[in-house]
Amino acid sequence: MQENDMIICRCEEVSYRELVETAAKYNCVARELKLRTRAGMGYCGGRSCRSMIDKFSYAPLNTKNQTSISLKYQPPVRPISFSNLGGMD
């Protein structure tokens, strides 16, 4: 396994290579990378990969402005009972 094949986002199985290629092709910042690759959009909400994805905003291959909005932490959806969902008490 090459280091470019290392999985950065385990939930969505996005590799380092995919992030680098997408950032280079579209000249995207972290928020765009998230939308284009789904990195950080899995079950954990980016808790394990957010910092790595944010680093692409400051990568030398990326020339967009450095004041871009970084990704936010998105907690997983909380469980809800069927009685609450159906409006029954």
Phi and psi for 23 in degrees, rounded to 5? -65, -40
User: Tell me, what amino acid is at 64?
Assistant: K
What pLDDT shows up at residue 15? Answer: 92
Dihedral over Cα of 12, 26, 22, 69: its sign? negative
Q: What is the pLDDT along the chain (89 residues), one digit of tens a residue?
A: 576 789 989 989 999 999 888 888 888 877 888 889 999 888 888 888 888 888 765 555 444 555 555 555 555 567 777 787 777 66
Residue 87: CB atoms within 10 Å: 6
Angle (CA) 74 78 84, round 5°? 140
Q: What is the pTM of this model?
A: 0.61
